[in-house]
Chain A
Amino acid sequence: MNLLNYILRRILLMLVVLFGVSLMVFTIMMLLPPGMRVAVYVHNEKITPDQLETLIDRYGLEDPAPIQYCRWMGNVLQGDFGYSVTASAPVTQGFSRYFPITFELMLIAGPLTVMVGILLGTIGAVHKDKPADHFTRVFAIVGYSLPTFWLGLLLLMLVYGYFGIFPPGYLSDAGKNIIFSEGFTNYTGIILVDGILNWEWGVVLDDLYHLVLPSVSFVILASALILRLTRSSMLEALGQDYIRTALAKGADRRTINKVHARRNALIPVVTVAGLLFAQMMAGLVVTETIFNRPGIGQWIVRAALQLDVPAIMFNVLFLGVVFVTVNLIVDIIYAYIDPRIRLY
């Protein structure tokens, strides 16, 4: 009952934050001249300059801000985000085309990042001030300091350029031929899953082959944050009285590290999962751009460069919603792993 109450309250709070996020996106949009904002409402591709005036008039782009907000919000709630020049399609269609590519990378690299971060963080804390710890600390600080784009460029230059393996892009031409052919059914849009469902293992392997470098670059950089957090909270947990109690009970080091300390140490790590997600998104934008994967991240960059306002606004809004949802889930997980929280 308590837990249910808690979740309901969180959802309420989430709605408030979402309202704020939409306000913020709207404010950014209002910084633009009406001529650029008009794209958010228009659906056909070309707008000629003489059309512009009438369109601005028709959509009331010079009305007071609150009225414009309500009109825009009305469209958004109906799933109408306007036309994206960079996707050459309405925003929602562009999204359904690009999202699976991004999702695929997250599917491979996300869990890997978390595992590497937690594992190395635990090792670092357990072997504090030993060589293993120094290694993890160097790894973390490098991961923190190296610009994502530079690591990507270096990997491309050495691995792809010099050795000629792991090319950029998302599929080879042969693979693309297969997935765009008649016999290939698009179940999910995620090539990895579709490949298996169509029993085209060549496509699956090709896809994985292209995922190697982006995943490596992503994991090296994104796991640094988890590593540092795990290490410091693990160190804190290892210094607690209950560790001494476990020792006095006759527990071995392994049980102490893996059961008694880590369960406690993961609590603060889970609480920052939202922050982590934001960092991953930033990493994703750059990773996709460098490795030329046509996902959400690359779309955002192209939209920003070509001033494709509808696409940018949609993605900011979308990521805001995802972030807030992630935080809600985090709060629920948190309540589950830390029994103390349920008191409130």
Chain B
Amino acid sequence: MSAQTDSTIRTDPMIETRDLYTNFYTFEGAVKALNGVSVKVRRGETYGLVGESGCGKSVTVRSMMRIVQAPGKIEDGEIRLFLSDDHKQKAIDILDRSEAYMRSIRGNEISMIFQEASASLNPVFTIGFQVGESFIFHRKAEMIEKTNEALTAELERGAPAPVSWWKRMQHALFTREHALLLHYRTRVAEIDRQIDELEGAEDPASLRRKKSLKARREREWKPDLVLSLVKRVPFLKRYQKRIHKTIRGEVITLLESLGVPNPQNVVDRYPHELSGGMQQRIVIAMALACHPTLLIADEPTSNLDVTIQAQIIDLIRRLKETSIASVLFITHDLGVVAEMCDRVTVMYAGDTAETAEVAELFRNPLHPYTQALLDSVPKEEQEGELATIPGTVPNLVNPPTGCRFHPRCPHAMEICKRQKPPVTEYAPGHSVSCHLYPAPADNAKESTDG
């Protein structure tokens, strides 16, 4: 890859949030978990999201995938995903899409791996089933094609009578389902194209049309009478087992490529029978099954041994080089950030404090919180005690007014209590949200705490 294309790739956006507000309506009151978060991940980069626990990192990425679960709700803001379509970038407004569309994106275009793999895996299903589900959700037509190829080959080779009858039925049913799936795909693609065309239109007619299109997108899948009947009949419904055999093969190949030893054995195991590092690999396999363009890793190495941590990080880095366009990496470990990321955003209590290239951030931290964070990490030439940040992360039901960091900030001024600092571009590619760095008068964004 030449330096020229490399730089253009890196300026194309992949996913972007603007002024995102997400609240959790708990019994104690509304937890204002995100307070206008804007981050922008570019195509081809590894982007870090850093902060203490409770600062809203996970909520940010869950909002990106729209999997914030009740009682959480995305209240305001914009999330735009850029998918490349014939070398053109098209922007997709994630908050304005139907749930069915989002399902086709999740695990397919954007995937996520989680902290605590043991809790992320369903204890009562085998590894093969759980990883294979990704294929069922997004690649079912392809899996059916493969299955039918195998079936045809077997029939041509000649199977004995009752078996061949069974195989012919399987083949027929799969063919029917395949046709249905393809039909569904083309229709859905057409609806999506029409919605894409309406992207950004604000006039009432277009909005109404968009709404009806979204509703249609949601209803588009129509179950087939014959298939749903057959799937309910005991014994007959076993015809589907054949496709699971195909999927099992795919899962084994996938696990092998991720360096899981003895995958033929692992697919039939239950999560609790595997070690922590192996469980995390399984979670990664689930995320990578459909070759996503964006991988979100939510503290994938916490609760793992140091050596396993290194292996997992190494694996993600290798995958980044080979198969995934962008990685959004969440961590509270600044060492990992320095090792992995190209750019990084520091978050504090639902606010973005500072965004910069990694080297720049470590060299020249601007925000008092970033400075404090870096001071609290041991360095090679460490002398004396480590610095700590006084106080704790504030209660987000009643967050501090103005800048949420001001109660703990050594440089707090009068204005910090009153006004939320705007995001200012301090240097190219280095923006900070702090009253110590006043914005040039022309592009200052006035916003107060909501």
* Interfacial chain A residues near B287, Cβ < 8 Å: 248
Bound together, the chains give a CA A277 to CA B348 distance in angstroms of 54
Whether B104 sits at the interface, judged by CB under 8 Å, is yes
Whether A250 sits at the interface, judged by CB under 8 Å, is yes
* Interfacial chain A residues near B107, Cβ < 8 Å: 248-250
Whether B134 sits at the interface, judged by CB under 8 Å, is yes
> How many whole Å from B128's CB to the nearest CB in chain A?
13
Does A339 contact B111, Cβ atoms closer than 8 Å?
no
Whether A50 sits at the interface, judged by CB under 8 Å, is no
* Interfacial chain A residues near B69, Cβ < 8 Å: 243-244, 247
Tier of interface size on chain B: 20 to 34
* Chain A residue, CB-CB nearest to B133: A249
Given contacts A263-B124, A264-B122, A337-B124, contact A246 B133 (CB under 8 A): yes
Does B120 contact A247, Cβ atoms closer than 8 Å?
no
> How many whole Å from B122's CB to the nearest CB in chain A?
4
In terms of DSSP, what is the predominant structure of the interface of chain A? helix
Does B123 contact A249, Cβ atoms closer than 8 Å?
no
Candidate in B108, B121, B137 with the most chain A CB atoms within 10 angstroms:
B137
* Chain B residue, CB-CB nearest to A342: B270
Partner pick for A343 among B125, B272, B283, CB 8 A cutoff: B272
Does A246 contact B122, Cβ atoms closer than 8 Å?
yes
Given contacts A248-B112, A250-B107, A252-B103, contact A242 B133 (CB under 8 A): no
Whether B329 sits at the interface, judged by CB under 8 Å, is no
Does A242 contact B103, Cβ atoms closer than 8 Å?
no
Whether A306 sits at the interface, judged by CB under 8 Å, is no
Does A339 contact B120, Cβ atoms closer than 8 Å?
no
Whether B119 sits at the interface, judged by CB under 8 Å, is yes
Whether A240 sits at the interface, judged by CB under 8 Å, is yes
Whether A340 sits at the interface, judged by CB under 8 Å, is yes
* Chain A residue, CB-CB nearest to B111: A248
Partner pick for A249 among B106, B116, B124, CB 8 A cutoff: B106
Does B114 contact A241, Cβ atoms closer than 8 Å?
yes
Whether B34 sits at the interface, judged by CB under 8 Å, is no
Does B123 contact A340, Cβ atoms closer than 8 Å?
yes
Count of CB-CB pairs between chains A and B under 8 Å: 77
Whether A97 sits at the interface, judged by CB under 8 Å, is no
* Interfacial chain A residues near B116, Cβ < 8 Å: 241
Does B123 contact A242, Cβ atoms closer than 8 Å?
yes
Bound together, the chains give a CA A338 to CA B125 distance in angstroms of 9
Does B137 contact A240, Cβ atoms closer than 8 Å?
no
Whether A251 sits at the interface, judged by CB under 8 Å, is yes
Given contacts A241-B116, A245-B120, A343-B272, contact A263 B125 (CB under 8 A): yes
Whether A260 sits at the interface, judged by CB under 8 Å, is yes
* Interfacial chain B residues near A128, Cβ < 8 Å: 70
* Interfacial chain B residues near A252, Cβ < 8 Å: 103
* Chain A residue, CB-CB nearest to B102: A250
List A298-344 residues whose CB lies under 8 Å from chain B.
Answer: 337-340, 343
* Interfacial chain B residues near A248, Cβ < 8 Å: 65, 67, 106-107, 111-112, 114, 287
Bound together, the chains give a CA A241 to CA B67 distance in angstroms of 12
Whether B286 sits at the interface, judged by CB under 8 Å, is yes
Does B120 contact A264, Cβ atoms closer than 8 Å?
no
Whether B138 sits at the interface, judged by CB under 8 Å, is yes
Bound together, the chains give a CA A251 to CA B105 distance in angstroms of 11
Bound together, the chains give a CA A251 to CA B102 distance in angstroms of 10
* Chain B residue, CB-CB nearest to A337: B124
List A235-289 residues whose CB lies under 8 Å from chain B.
Answer: 240-252, 260, 263-264, 267
Bound together, the chains give a CA A252 to CA B220 distance in angstroms of 14
* Interfacial chain A residues near B123, Cβ < 8 Å: 242, 264, 338-340
Does B119 contact A251, Cβ atoms closer than 8 Å?
no
* Chain B residue, CB-CB nearest to A339: B270
Bound together, the chains give a CA A249 to CA B129 distance in angstroms of 13
* Interfacial chain B residues near A340, Cβ < 8 Å: 123, 270, 272
Does B119 contact A250, Cβ atoms closer than 8 Å?
no
Bound together, the chains give a CA A267 to CA B105 distance in angstroms of 32
* Chain B residue, CB-CB nearest to A267: B124
Bound together, the chains give a CA A243 to CA B108 distance in angstroms of 17
Does B270 contact A245, Cβ atoms closer than 8 Å?
no
Q: List 28 A-B contacts (CB under 8 A).
A: A241-B119, A242-B121, A242-B122, A242-B123, A243-B69, A244-B62, A244-B69, A245-B114, A246-B133, A247-B65, A247-B67, A249-B107, A249-B134, A249-B137, A250-B103, A250-B107, A250-B108, A250-B137, A251-B103, A251-B137, A260-B122, A260-B125, A263-B122, A264-B122, A267-B124, A337-B124, A340-B123, A343-B272
Given A243-B69, A244-B120, A249-B107; 8 other pairs, CB 8 A cutoff = A242-B119, A246-B133, A248-B67, A248-B106, A248-B287, A339-B124, A339-B272, A340-B272
Chain B positions within 8 Å of A, measured between CB atoms, are 62, 65, 67, 69-70, 103-108, 111-112, 114, 116, 119-125, 133-134, 137-138, 270, 272-273, 283, 286-287
Chain A positions within 8 Å of B, measured between CB atoms, are 128, 240-252, 260, 263-264, 267, 337-340, 343
